[in-house]
């Protein structure tokens, strides 16, 4: 069923677009931070001969954010590989059972990693990074947040179907 905005030919509200594309937005910002910090590190090392020691640490932190938010975004489009050549050959009742088991395992892994990642990130708060002295929670935090997002997006895809990429590059469910 189309939304009221679609029925009236109006664009989606900004908060809905940001909510639909949250993972992609954060991953793109992280990628930009990686490119800028690595570029700055190269410039300061080879041009000014006074290397910016913080550049590689910022790139490492941003890389963690890029990887986990990118993985969460892939859940929306079912871009993670699945090998179902055995399941499609099973009798229908058994195949349905295997698929339900798979759903349970995926959601269980997401829940476990969100819980364990949260505990690990909280414990890392008192452990600073070597150069900038930032809490390592900034490095481990995306694990917890993104596995929670993966579980949420997995449930949304199972309930409503795949996200689609519209002509104007909005992602939406259903």
DSSP labels, 26-40: HHHHHHHHHHHHHHH
Cα distances (Å, whole numbers) of residue 78 to 34, 38, 82, 161, 171: 26, 31, 9, 10, 13
- Report d(CA 97, CA 95) in Å as an integer: 5
Give the domain extent around 20: 4-173
- Terminus-to-terminus CA distance in the chain, angstroms? 8
The predicted-structure confidence for 79-126, as pLDDT tens digits, reads as follows: 888 888 888 899 999 988 998 999 899 999 999 999 999 999 999 999
pLDDT at 171: 52
The predicted-structure confidence for 36-83, as pLDDT tens digits, reads as follows: 999 999 999 999 878 898 999 999 999 999 999 999 998 888 888 888
What φ, ψ does residue 78 adopt, rounded to 5°? 50, 50
pTM exceeds 0.75 for this model: yes
Asked whether 21 and 70 are in contact (CB, 8 A), the reply is no
What tokens does 29 get? 């910002």
pLDDT at 81: 82
Q: List CB contacts of 109: < 8 A, sequence separation 6 or more.
A: 147
DSSP 89: G
Total tally of structural domains belonging to the chain: 1
């Amino acid at each position: 069923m189309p939304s009221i905005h679609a029925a009236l030919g109006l664009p989606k509200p900004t908060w809905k677009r940001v909510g639909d594309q949250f993972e992609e937005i954060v991953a793109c910002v992280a990628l930009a931070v990686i490119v800028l910090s690595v570029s700055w590190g190269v410039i300061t090392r080879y041009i000014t001969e006074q290397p910016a020691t913080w550049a590689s640490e910022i790139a490492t932190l941003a890389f963690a954010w890029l990887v986990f938010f990118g993985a969460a975004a892939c859940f929306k489009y079912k871009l993670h590989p699945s090998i179902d050549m055995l399941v499609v050959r099973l009798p229908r009742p058994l195949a349905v059972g295997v698929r339900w088991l798979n759903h349970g395992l995926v959601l269980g892994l997401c829940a476990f990693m969100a819980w364990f990642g949260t505990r690990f990130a909280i414990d890392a708060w008192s452990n600073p990074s070597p150069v900038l002295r930032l809490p390592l929670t900034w490095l481990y935090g995306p694990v917890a947040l993104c596995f929670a997002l993966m579980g949420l997006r997995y449930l949304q895809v199972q309930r409503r179907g795949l996200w689609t990429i519209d002509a104007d590059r909005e992602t939406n469910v259903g």
